[in-house]
Amino acid sequence: MQITFYGVRGSIPSPGPDTVRYGGNTTCIDVMTDNGDRIILDGGTGIRQLGLDMMNQLPVQCSIFITHTHWDHIQGLPFFTPLFVPGNKVDFYGAFDPVYMKDLRSILAQQMEYCYFPIRENELKATLSYNSLKEGDAIQVGSATVTCILLNHPVLNFGYLIEADGKRFFFTGDNESPVNIYQPGDDDFAEYQELIEERESHIIDFIRGVDCIVIDAQYTKEEYFASKIGWGHGYFESSIQLAAKAGIPQVHITHHDPTRTDDQLEAIFQQLAHKGAIPDGMQVHPAKETFKIQL
């Protein structure tokens, strides 16, 4: 299984000289099994270049799994060239929105209405399918199995476990470890804390022992506790701790803050290593565009 980063920034694209080393595109990860089955995780702006690379070998057949439909995870899809070419086949997977009562096709098609984009979804030439998922669904994509689990974000967000070639890989999408909304001593504190711990145990059991995890950690600990609680993203130490509890040896931190320069990102990782925040035996890296992971 080969995993390639095509977009690693969060919230909004941030191109320029200060982000050129790690990349300024929003979330997109390409996963290729040894049998040539292609799974794409999210359609942020990084999917534009991925689509161009894929056009070198036609026809294109791939499955795109959307963690959630916030803008930075879907905004590249209208520029995904394989969608415009007859003979290509693209299968979309993601959640039904229970708040607005919209399926994945309705949500993705909206950003291709004429008021936003010059080509409508129903004018695309590739063969498309849209599939709604619920937690625990396991989808077979060629030789790979993709299983989803609900994680914590302001909109319904799936993390995806991909199993193929005797290896296991997990991507969180956007995720914040839940925080107790009550204070110690409040009547409901203990009950709420029990619910948090049960959910965390469920997630840890789901990802225990995977070979590699790509995990959201947009903030530093100081940023998080100063003003970012409830925004739906992890901080570096919380994400590393989650991976450690699940016994995961290889960790790649993603969803880099768009205001964070490459130099600042590297300085954070140096500080984490200096203060012993990375457990022995664990490899922790900032996700980097074009970087390939071979499992």
pTM of structure? 0.97
Mean pLDDT of 72-92: 98
Longest CA pairwise span in the chain (Å): 63
Which H or E run contains 199? helix 189-207
- Quick one: pLDDT band at residue 167, thresholds 50, 70, 90? very high
* Digit-coded pLDDT (tens) for 24-68: 999 999 999 999 999 999 999 999 999 999 999 999 999 999 999
DSSP states along 230-280: TSS--BHHHHHHHHHHTT-SEEEEE-B-TT--HHHHHHHHHHHHHTT-S-T
Q: Which of 92, 90, 77 is nearest to 139 (CA)?
A: 92
CATH topology of domain 2-294: Metallo-beta-lactamase; Chain A (3.60.15)
Task: Name the pLDDT band for 191 (thresholds 50, 70, 90).
Answer: very high
| Whole-number Å distance between alpha carbons of 246 and 206 | 9
Cβ contacts of residue 58 below 8 Å, gap of 6+? Answer: 85, 87, 88
